[in-house]
Structures are given as C-alpha cells and as structure tokens.
Structure 1
Amino acid sequence: MIESNVYIDPKIAALQPGEATTDSIAWIKLSYTVLPLGAPISDAKVLTGRQKPLTEIAFIFAEIRTREGHEGIGFGYSKRAGGPGMYAHAQEIAPTLLGEDPNDIAKLYNKLLWAGASMGRSGLTTQAIAPFDIALWDLKAKRASLPLAKLLGAHRDSVQCYNTSGGYLSTPLEKVLENVQTSRGNGIGGIKIKVGQPDTSIDFKRVQAVREQLGEGFPLMVDANQQWDRVTAQRFCRKLEQFDLTWIEEPLDSADVEGHAALAASLDTAIATGEMLTSFNEHAQLITANACDFIQPDAPRVGGITPFLQIMNLASFKGLKLAPHFAMEIHLHLAAAYPEEPWLEHFEWLEPMFNERLELREGRMWVPNRPGLGFSLSEQALAWTQHSVEFGKRP
C-alpha cells in the first residue's frame, strides 16, 4: 500500500535564477520501496553473529523533473537496517533543491551535504544524498540524449563482469559448484565466492574445489567480508595465493587502513576493499595509504556519482584497479569511463525493480544505448513501494 503526500514550497515561485541558468528543478518525488529476496543470504558476518541474514533491501528512489520537462531518476539503498532513517533524512533535504539549476550538480551536492552537516558528512547523511545526485546525472545525460557512460567519456563499451550471488557461505559446496557452471554458461567472466568460516580449513576446501572446477586462468575472487584479524588474514591469505586469485576482498575490518596496507604490501595476490566506506574522504585515506590494489566504491553509499568520480580520479592517479560494489545498473556506466580495465559486479537481485535488462555476453556487460542510466521503474517496484512524498509542482 502506498502512502503519498505532497509538499509545495511557497517560495518556489519567488526564486530568481542567474542569467546563465536555463532550467530549474520544479518537482521531486521520493519513494521508499522494499525488495524481498527469494531466500535469506548469509556471509561471514552472519556466521559470527555480527549481523542477521539478509532477507530484503530497502530502496529510496528520487525522481526529479525540471520546469522545461527534463527528468531523471536515481536511487540509494540499505541492507538490514537504516532504510527508514535514510528516507527520513532525504525528505528533510529534498526541498533545498527546488528552484535550483539541475546543471549545477557539484554545487547541489555540496548544498545537500551542508543541509545535514550537523549529522556528519558520511554514513547516513551522504547515503541519503545519493538518490538526488544520481537522478541529476541521469537527467543531464538524458537531456544530452546520451548514455551516462558516453556523457562522462567512455574508455570502453563493455566491462568484464563477475558473479557473487552463487557462492554465499549459506550455499552448500555442491550447489556452489553447480552455480559456477550455470554462471559460466550464462556468459559471466569471473566467479567470486564468500570465505570467512570460523574454521579456515572449510574455506580452503571450498576455494580449492571451485578453482579445480574452473580450471587454470579463469578469474576467481574470494570475499571475507571483514572477518579476519591481522594474524589470521596474513596466514590464510598466504595459503590462498596458490589458487591464483584475482583478488582477496575485505580480509580485515573496513576501517583498518594500516592493516590492509601491510597486507597489500606483503602479498602477491591483490587486495580489494572499500565497499563499506561512505565518503570520498574515507576512500582517499585508503587510496593514499596504498592499502589496496582494487578499490571498490559504491556510488549509492558514498553519496552518488559526484563523489564517486572524485574517487575514480584519485584511484586512477594512484594506478589502482576499479571494481565497484553492487548496483551494476549505475556502476556499469562509471566503470566504462575508468581508464584502466575494471571489473563489474553482477547482481540479478535488482532486475525485478526495472523494466530494462542489461546485456551479458562473452564475459562482459555491455553499456546500453539508452539515454541516461537507461532504466525505469517496473510495475513490480511500484507494488513494493510503501511510502512516497512529492515536493514542488510537477510541470
């Protein structure tokens, strides 16, 4: 059931844009939508009691329309907790965009950031900004009649793509091996499985079995989800080096920059991390400390595309590889615009939310030729929407 209400700022008509302004934001709609997962998902954090199994994902969608009729859509998300808080904060800051020129995305990002600065400039504050920022970039690319990747300046028309969802710790090994075969048959270019069992010998056997099934040379990654302490990570990562892994992901707590740097310096296998960080500044600390080989920013988590592009520029300057976390519908465009060959994470979870599908073939995901991000909300997404609110007046 959708609960909807409309807020109209009485000052909107009085706003006077500058001489260079060609358009202004007239209407914003926020929606709170909950995506149920087909089965509970468990990783190392669940086995150790840190978190409960993942059963649903909360989304905040922002739809923006301008006086001239241009529109864009963006989203943020939260797993397990925090969705209602993000939605509440997004409602607080949304009216500050009314009457503003949608072209001035960096300015508007800063305006939204300072609107909630007393709550900090990372975490929930930045994640609540992401739907607006992403919608503005979508709008800008649509107005130019270009896919976002082309607006940014693409280095490639497709991105090598790996799959995670078939290798969770809650999945028996026999099923993991079956999923590996299915993924390869569907055109996936790399396989990632979860590790982080309390008994590392179980992890070792699972990685060994998957490597044997894939054969030599096929890209294989593992993800520990911040499970290990420094000593365990050092010892076990050395044992894993024999499997020629593309990377070892989040071996330590995401905030342990020093530990990740020491690990990255001591291993031949690449270290990947960054998905849990929620601002450019946090990523900058990780990058400048040489604490990883693959940086894994998440645009909805860091506040949108604007800070993501800052992270990309710094990572490229430092010679890092890029492997964005989750939300392939957004990250495909951003990864296509990265100078070095990146990886894209494939998650089919979000497909029911959108009318369009992305093309996967020959191990790569292909940038669609649709303007903007190239997606629109499905009827199913509307059915899963629990609350919505509008600001301004739709032209």
Structure 2
Amino acid sequence: MTHDTIRHVRLSTATLPLATPISDAKVFTGRQRPMTEVVFLFAEIRTAEGHEGIGFSYSKRAGGPAQYAHAKEVGELLLGEDPSDIGRINTKLLWAGASVGRSGVATQALAAIDVALWDLKAKRAGLPLAKLLGAHRDSVRTYNTSGGFLQASIEEIKDRATRSLSDGIGGIKIKVGLPDSAEDLRRVTAIREHLGDDVPLMVDANQQWDRATALRMGRRLEEFGLVWIEEPLDAYDAEGHAALAAALDTPIATGEMLASVAEHERLIATRACDVIQPDAPRVGGITQFLKLATLADHAGLDLAPHFAMEIHLHLAAAYPREPWVEHFDWLDPLFNERLETRDGRMVVPDRPGLGVTLSDQARAWTTDSVEFGAA
C-alpha cells in the first residue's frame, strides 16, 4: 500500500473589513474599542496525489499577525507527512513550538493547519466532514447573533431578528452587559415582546458582570424564558459560573474565550456551565475540539460552538446531544458557497469536507502569504 504525502503548503493572512463597527459590552465598559475587522489565517494543503484541504483560524482586534508568524515557523514541517496522520502531525507541531505553550496564539496558529487536514481527509473519503466524523443529524438548530450587538437600536434589532427568522434561522441572541442594567432589561423586554414567547432567545453579557450583578440580573432575567445567559462572568471564573448555574433556572453558557482543552476541563469539572461553547480555531483545531466534546458529552453538557459556523456546523452535527450552531453572516464574502438555513436549522452541506472554497474576494483581501514545497 502506498501512502499519500503532503507536497505543498500555502499559508496566508487576510483582513476582513466589517461593514459597521461592532460593539458589545466590553466597548461600553471601556475595555475595548469597536471592532472594525477580523484577521484570518488560512492554510491550504496539497498532497502528492493532488488532494487539497483548506482550514482557517482568526483573530478579532489583535493577534492575527502573531498567529501567522507562528504558523510560518512550523509550516515547513508538514512536508512529506502522511496527511491521514492528523494526531501525530498535531503533536509534532505542538512540540516544534513547545516554548510558546499549548494555548493562545500558538494553538490558534496550528488550528488552521489542523482544520485543513481534516477537510482534506474528508475530501479524500468523498464525505462531508460531519459524515466522516459520524453525524447524529443532518441539520442543527441555529441562532443568529450578528444582528443583536449593542451599537444597534432596539428597532434595528427587531428588524434584523424578523429577517433572520424569515431566512429560516431558529433563535435570536442579543447582547447585554451595559453599565446601566435597567437598559439591558429594557432591551430584553422589548425583544421578547417582539418575538413572542415561542422563539428561542439568548442573551450574552461578554464577561462584564461581577458575581453580585450576575446573580441579580440572572434572577431578573428568569421571567423571559431564555435558552441561556452567556458569559455572565469573567471567562476564567469557573467557581463563580458554577455558583450561578446552581442558583438559577436559566442555563449558563460559556467557554468561547478559552484557548485550550485544559482550560475547558476546569469548566467541566466544576460544573461551571450547562452549555459549553468551545471554538475550534481557538482551542487548536478539530483534533482538540473532539477531545473536548467527548468530555462535555460525558458530563451531560449541551453544546453551542462559538462563531466559525463553516467549521462548527459539522462538529455540532457529530455531537450526541442536540446542539446549537451560531449563525454569523460576516464571513460570507470569504467563501464561494453559502450554508442553508430552513425551519430554524442549518443544513449540513453534501459537499465533501467543509464544503467551502475561498472566494476571489478572500484572495483580494490577502495581505501576505508564504509557500512551502512544490506547487
């Protein structure tokens, strides 16, 4: 038996401009500036037999150049490897950059490569990634976040929510965490009244409450029948989240800001959430995400991966418990394909791999690239 080998690797970084500056609670508390762009790291891998895979990672506000720099340092080590040996390759690259650790920028840089290898593996099998992993369903409940940011007025959020629901999206998430909690409650009240009681509604405080405020607000929010309250506390306050989850009927969701499986293990061990929200590009790719998903399922947690629906749709479809996937239209210009939503769910595409290819616009937004091996 002959084994295919990796012959060519292309790494590139591209900057996606946002049509409108985006603000969540971190802006209103003075900790961040409005977000105007997202920086992407793309990995494109080709084998000697002509198979190709694409993966990506991303950074908001800062860190994109660092991800790209680290990927460039280790990218050449992929040449000559059997692309099927994803776990071994992942370990090899982790050790190549051991001095910068196994979290944060280091693992986020490797995530783009790891995702590309899984995309390639599924394409070689002629299967959508969800099917390669072992899908439990062909579509996943989906909710929209991109219309509910704090720079938008209540009327704007209502209009966007209505459009989302008409486009086949099943739930609506809005941002909270303003310095004036009364305004948060006013916005939630208005959106719940607009949607009615039957539409799933989530809120996200983006880590801006202290423990006392989170408990007080959590109790006030119970009446709205929310699917969850997201990131009420600092992402690393596992004990605070656990106490809140025990005190409230409304489920607690968190995890998107954690950058390794080890950090999520603490959430799981302390029962710090009811809904865990890992982000594959942030934790190191699909290989690491699958480890985390096994732990989460064993603990009986629900799953709602953060952002990057092009990747997370497949991973959510392979989770044993009925999950949610987050719908963002921000990334649409980067890819030639669109994901379908209908009847409140996002449909797993029947195209092999992730089912996406880079658009000409993504190429135009590329600011730098490097290649290893024979093209």
Classify the TM-score, shorter chain: over 0.9
Query: How do 1:38-57 and structure 2 match up within 5 A?
Result: 38-57=19-38
- Tell me what 1:284 maps to: 265
3-state secondary structure, aligned to 1:375: coil
Q: Is the 8 A contact 1:21 1:101 kept in 2?
A: no
User: Alpha carbon RMSD of aligned pairs, Å?
Assistant: 0.8
Q: Which amino acid aligns with 1:23?
A: D
State the secondary structure of the residue aligned to 2:330: helix
Partner in structure 2 of residue 259 of structure 1: 240
Asked if the contact 1:177/1:213 (under 8 Å) is kept, the reply is yes
| Alignment-derived partner of residue 3 in structure 1 | none
AA aligned opposite 1:22 = H
Point out where structure 2 has 5 or more consecutive residues left out of the alignment: none
- Counterpart position of 2:121: 140
The 2-side partners of 1:113 and 1:342 are apart by: 30
Q: Residues of 2 paired with 1:330 and 1:71: CA distance?
A: 16
Deviation at 1:171? 0.5
Q: Which amino acid aligns with 1:273?
A: T
Matched, 1:302 2:283: yes
Please give the secondary structure, in 2, of the residue aligned with 1:37. strand
Distance in 1 of aligned mates of 2:157 and 2:334: 26
Once residues 248 and 2 of structure 2 are traced to their aligned partners in structure 1, the CA distance between those partners, rounded to angstroms, is 53
Write the letter of the residue equivalent to 1:340: R
Instruction: Report the AA paired with residue 193 of structure 1.
Output: I
**Cα distance in 2 for residues equivalent to 1:380 and 1:140:** 26
TM-superposed deviation, 1:21 = 6.1
- Tell me which residue corresponds to 1:237: 218
Number of the residue aligned with 2:340: 359
Partner Cα distance (1:50, 1:222) in 2: 20
In structure 2, what residue type is equivalent to 1:223? Answer: D
Aligned to 1:174: 155
Task: Determine the structure 2 residue equivalent to 1:219.
Answer: 200
**Structure 1 unpaired stretches of 5+:** 1-19
Helix, strand or coil for the counterpart of 1:349? coil
What is aligned with 2:43?
A: 62
- Matches of 1:298 and 1:106 in 2, distance apart? 19
What is the CA deviation profile of residues 71-103 of structure 1, one whole-angstrom value per residue up to 9, with x for unaligned ones? 100000000001011100000011111111111
Residue equivalent to 1:249: 230
What is residue 4 of structure 1 aligned with on the other side?
none
| Range that drifts further, 382-391 or 176-185 | 176-185
Indicate the percent of aligned positions where both proteins have the same amino acid: 68
Equivalent residues, number: 375
Counterpart for residue 29 of structure 1: 10
Instruction: Please say if residues 30 and 62 of structure 1, whose CA atoms lie closer than 8 Å, have aligned partners that are also in contact.
Output: yes
Tell whether 2:284 aligns with 1:293. Answer: no
Match of 1:215, as an amino acid?
A: G
User: How far apart, CA to CA, are the structure 1 residues paired with 2:71 and 2:161?
Assistant: 39
Query: Paired residue for 1:129?
Result: 110
Determine the structure 2 residue equivalent to 1:107.
88
Provide the rounded CA distance (Å) in 1 between the counterparts of 2:134 and 2:41. Answer: 28
CA–CA distance in 2 between the matches of 1:279 and 1:21? 35
- After TM superposition, list the pairs within 5 Å mapping 1:145-164 onto structure 2: 145-164=126-145
- Rg larger for: 1
User: What SS does the aligned partner of 1:348 have?
Assistant: coil
Amino acid of the residue matched to residue 114 of structure 2?
A: D
